[in-house]
Every structure is written in C-alpha cells, then in structure tokens.
C-alpha cells in the first residue's frame, strides 16, 4: 500500500511523506509516554505513603494506642517527627469521624472536629479505579469531601488496599493516599496521608516543554532540509531531465546545462558527463553521416569505372585492350572490397573499444613482434627490410594501452610506409623517451614523402595522395591510426625527412 502511494510521488514529496509518517509515529509514542509518566511518578509517591501508613499502624499497635481523639493527639505529638516530610496526616475512626490531623498539632484540641477541605477526585492508581467514569465522554471533575471519599472507599471491592487520588489547583498538586487501619484483625478506622507533589507536575511540564521544543526544532530542520534538497538537488535533477528531453525531441529550447556544469559537486560532474556524452554522441552521428557520404563518394568512382570498362570490354576485340580493361575491372573490384572491409572493421573496432580495458604493456616487445611478422613477408617479397632502433639506456617502454590495438596502429603505419617505398628500401621503427617521460614511436620510410603543405590532411578519411596500386588500400588506414592513438590519449604527427627522402610519422604516448 505504502509503496504504491510513494510510487507516483516526486522525491521531495516522498521525503516529506516519509518524514511525516515517522513524525506521527514518534508523536504517538511521545503522547503514550507522557500519559504513562504521571501514573508512574504517582505510584512511586504512593508506595512511600503506604510504607509510612504501615509503619504508623505498627507503632499504634505496638504502643497500644486507642483510636480516639485524645490518644491519637498524644500519639501525633510524640511521633510528629515521623511525619515532618509530609504535608498532612489525617486519622478517621470507622464511622468516618475525624480524630487526628497533623495540621492541628499546634491548635486547641477543639479544632479536630473541623471538616476537611473539599477536594476534586481526578485519578486513582492501579489498585483502586474510579467506577463512575462514563466512556466516550470528557472527564468531569466531581467535587467530593474527604468523608465521601472514605465512604466510597469503604464500599469498594478493593477495600483493605491502599487508595490514591489527586487534587490539582493552579499552584498545587496534592496527592492523597488512604488505607483502612486493622488492629488484631479488627477494622478500627482510616489513615490518610496528603502531600504536595508539585514536583510531579513540574516533571511532566518539563518533559512536555522539552518534547514541544524538540518537535519544533525537528520540524524546522526538516523544512530547511527540504528547501535545500529542492533547491540544490531536485531542481538541478529536473533541469537535467529537461535537458535530456530537449535532446530527445531535438527542440531549440535553451537549457541551463552550462550553469550546472560549473558546480563542483556530483551534480556538476553528472552535468559535465551528460553534456560530454551528448556532444560525443552528436560527434559520432556527424562522423557517421560524413563517413557515409565519403564512402558513397569513394565507391561511386570505381563503380563508374567498372560500368565503363564492362561496356567497353564487350565491344572491343583487341586482346591487349581487353586485358587492360580486365585489369581495371579487377582493381576496381578490389578497391570496393577493401573499402567495405575497412569500413566494416572500423565499425567493429568502435564497438570493441567501448568494452576493452587498458593495461600496462611494454611497447618494445609488441613492436618487435609486429616487425618480425612484416619482415617475414616483405624481405622475400619485395626486399624491404624493417629495422628497430631503440635507446639502449632505457630498460623498458611501458605505456597504458590495449595490446592488439597497438599492434593495429603499427601494422597500419608499416603497411602505409611500405606502400610508398620502392623495392629493396628500408623502413626504420624508432622507440625512445623524451625528457617528460613520454614514449615516442616513430616510423620512417624512404619513399616519396608527403606533397601536401598541411600534413594533418593525411589523417583524413580517403586521403588523396595514394600509391598506384590503390586497390590494396582504402584510404582509411591513417585515419584509423589517428583514432586509435587518440583513444590511448596520445598524439600523432607527420613530417618529411630532413634529407627530403621519405617521410616520418611519430606518435607520443602519455607517461604512465
């Protein structure tokens, strides 16, 4: 039931609702506690009164005191020190006549017959209960004389046990305990002890004041926390939700994401992360759209060539010309196949890179393995040999990366260098560390070098300055290398050699 109610509420309303429930539960517990405090305090007082009454009865029995005015008066004078901590001790005979009162010790004995004050019967302890309470109606204070209380007590089924009632005024809280007096099994009268127990009311009021102050403080704290929660957390979250809706609906509505990004807490970090993710998504979409456009453009050329060659080859009878056209067809088909293969590989790489984890790896061992593989192919095939040049003073070249992607980077660079190199030339692979501790990987060839003035263009997709045997290359190799390098947090740059023979591509990996 509660979960279904909370399900459709906002975070702020959930917070306030839950706190309200907790507050109500604590409030009910507090009310119950306050209702039990006063009876417990009265019971402690009553227990003390009962003890004094029992001791007094024992003294009367031991001293063989008669239960009349003279003997009781003498007894009170001789033992008044026993009652010095009590406000009033009253004796009645079994006919409810007043025969002794500590309030009259210093007065003439004729003062004893004076009737006791009118009191208000309000509560009884757990031993004697008021039988005249009306259920489902407010309590009514019943004006009763002490004699009437005694008469009611004598006819009670709990006669013989102690009986306690209270009388409260604006400045007093009187507590009176009554018990019948039995001597040798004979009922001879009643003994009542009355005490001003204002400390009970003070204790109750003190607790009430403390609870009210605490409740007020808790409410203020909850309200302040709710305002802070709403202003600094919930509203920013709502703004982030609005931002995502704007992105989803491609709306031109402005968002305050820039303001949230300036925060230095988790909301700011989340805003920056969300904005970066959105920008990266847009970048990927734009890249995919541009790449698709470029791919279509690149495929259109060989397709046009294929179409022309296929139309001409069916009409020509010249054998040499037919062989030339067949060669063109073969190259164009190979070119299209390479484009599709490399494009498919790029898509697979993007998916794989999002799940692969970078580790500390030794660049030297990876480079040596790739060089050995290429030498096994190209030394015999074209006489091109690849040499590894490293700084012998450095023991290892540790970088943070993905091993198979580092192999892919170097393989693409070597493949590109070999494609621009003539037979029997050399390709140099250099590994070194700069003064900042960055690991530098360089590939130097002896080919024609780069003709562009802006060498950054060579890393664009479908770079135009390509070898004659273009069918062996898609024009995506260096672009793939650049993307992989940037994934590893590195930088890539191209330059022509100082002797104007060949080119050099250099990659710097960040210090681990």
Paired tokens of 318: 């010249």
- Cα separation, 168 vs 14, in Å, equals 45
Sign of CA dihedral 84, 86, 87, 92: negative
DSSP letters of 221-270? HHHHHHHHHIIIIIHHHHHHHHHHHHHHHT------HHHHHT-SSHHHHH
**The predicted structure's pLDDT at residue 291:** 66
Paired tokens of 321: 């010309």
Higher-pLDDT residue of 90, 123: 90
- Cα separation, 3 vs 438, in Å, equals 56
358-512, CATH topology level: Heat Shock Protein 90 (3.30.565)
- Cα separation, 144 vs 163, in Å, equals 15
**The predicted structure's pLDDT at residue 297:** 62
pLDDT at 491 over 50: yes
pLDDT at 150 over 90: no
Per residue in 30-70, pLDDT tens?
888 878 888 888 888 888 888 888 888 888 888 888 888 88
Question: What strands, in cross-sheet order, belong to the sheet with 439-444?
Answer: 385-390, 426-433, 439-444, 503-509, 491-496
Per residue in 315-358, pLDDT tens?
777 777 777 777 777 777 777 777 777 777 666 666 666 667 78
CA distances from 282 to 260, 263, 379, 407, 481 (A): 20, 24, 45, 29, 22
pLDDT at 110 over 60: no
Q: Are strands 385-390 and 426-433 parallel, antiparallel or unpaired?
A: parallel
Higher-pLDDT residue of 470, 218: 218
The predicted model gives 225-252 an average pLDDT of 81
The predicted model gives 243-250 an average pLDDT of 80
**The predicted structure's pLDDT at residue 465:** 53
pLDDT at 427 over 70: yes
CA distances from 289 to 124, 157, 283, 459 (A): 89, 98, 10, 18
pLDDT at 508 over 90: yes
- Cα separation, 116 vs 145, in Å, equals 7
User: How sure is the predictor about 496, in pLDDT bands with cuts at 50, 70 and 90?
Assistant: confident
CB 131 within 8 A of CB 142: no
CB 363 within 8 A of CB 398: yes
CA distances from 194 to 169, 215, 351 (A): 14, 36, 91
pLDDT at 117 over 60: no
Higher-pLDDT residue of 357, 505: 505
**The predicted structure's pLDDT at residue 13:** 77
CA distances from 175 to 71, 102, 159, 253, 507 (A): 27, 16, 19, 75, 96
The overall average pLDDT reported for the chain is: 78
Q: What CATH class does 2-204 carry?
A: alpha beta
Domain range summary for the chain, segments of one domain joined by +: 2-204, 256-355, 358-512
CA distances from 405 to 77, 273, 366, 483, 490 (A): 110, 26, 10, 11, 13
Q: What CATH class does 256-355 carry?
A: mainly alpha
Higher-pLDDT residue of 138, 73: 73
User: How sure is the predictor about 443, in pLDDT bands with cuts at 50, 70 and 90?
Assistant: very high
pLDDT at 284 over 80: no
Q: What is the pTM of this model?
A: 0.46
- Cα separation, 154 vs 160, in Å, equals 8
- Cα separation, 369 vs 380, in Å, equals 18
CA distances from 311 to 308, 319, 320, 356, 504 (A): 5, 16, 16, 48, 43
- The DSSP bridge partners found for residue 173 are 168
């Amino acid at each position: 039931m509660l979960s279904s109610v909370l399900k459709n509420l906002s975070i702020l309303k959930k917070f306030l609702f839950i706190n309200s429930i907790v507050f109500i539960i604590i409030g009910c517990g507090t009310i119950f506690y306050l209702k039990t405090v006063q009876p417990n305090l009265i019971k402690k007082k009553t227990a003390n009164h009962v003890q004094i009454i029992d001791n007094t009865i024992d003294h009367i029995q031991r001293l063989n005191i008669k239960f009349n005015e003279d003997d009781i008066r003498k007894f009170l004078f001789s033992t008044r020190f026993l009652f010095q901590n009590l406000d009033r001790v009253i004796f009645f005979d079994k006919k409810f006549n007043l025969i002794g009162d500590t309030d009259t010790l210093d007065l003439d004995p004729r003062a004893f017959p004076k009737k006791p004050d009118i009191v208000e019967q309000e509560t009884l302890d757990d031993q004697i209960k008021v039988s005249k309470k009306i259920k489902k109606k407010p309590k009514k204070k019943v004006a009763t004389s002490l004699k009437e209380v005694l008469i009611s007590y004598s006819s009670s089924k709990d006669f013989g046990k102690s009986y306690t009632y209270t009388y409260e005024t604006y400045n007093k809280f009187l507590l009176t305990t009554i018990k019948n007096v039995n001597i040798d099994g004979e009922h001879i009268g009643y003994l009542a002890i009355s005490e001003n127990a204002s400390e009970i009311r003070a204790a109750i009021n003190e607790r009430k004041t403390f609870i009210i102050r605490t409740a007020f403080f808790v409410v203020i704290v909850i309200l302040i926390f709710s305002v802070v929660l709403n202003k600094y957390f919930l509203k920013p979250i709502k703004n982030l939700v609005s931002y995502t809706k704007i992105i989803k609906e491609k709306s031109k509505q402005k968002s305050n994401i820039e303001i949230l990004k300036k925060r230095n807490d988790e909301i700011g970090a989340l805003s920056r992360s969300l904005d970066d993710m959105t920008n990266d998504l847009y970048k990927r979409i734009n890249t995919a759209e541009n790449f698709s456009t470029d791919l279509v453009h690149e495929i259109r050329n060989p397709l046009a060539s294929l179409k022309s060659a296929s139309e001409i080859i069916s009409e020509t009878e010249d054998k040499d010309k037919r062989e030339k056209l067949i060669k063109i067809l073969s190259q164009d088909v190979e070119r299209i196949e390479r484009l599709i293969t490399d494009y498919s590989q790029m898509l697979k790489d993007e998916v794989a890179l999002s799940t692969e984890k970078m580790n500390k790896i030794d660049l030297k061992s990876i480079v040596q393995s790739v060089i050995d593989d290429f030498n096994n192919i190209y030394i015999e095939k074209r006489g091109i040999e690849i040499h590894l040049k490293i700084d012998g003073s450095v023991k290892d070249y540790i970088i943070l990366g993905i091993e198979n992607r580092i192999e892919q980077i170097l393989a693409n660079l070597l493949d590109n260098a070999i494609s621009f190199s003539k037979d029997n030339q050399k390709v140099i692979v250099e590994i070194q560390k700069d003064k900042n501790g960055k690991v530098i990987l360089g590939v130097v060839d002896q080919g024609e070098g780069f003709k562009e003035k802006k060498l950054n263009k060579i890393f664009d997709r479908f770079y135009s300055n390509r070898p004659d045997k273009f069918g062996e290359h898609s024009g995506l190799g260096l672009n793939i290398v650049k993307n992989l390098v940037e994934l590893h947090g590195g930088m890539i740059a191209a330059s022509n050699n100082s002797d104007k023979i060949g080119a050099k591509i250099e990659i710097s990996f960040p210090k681990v």
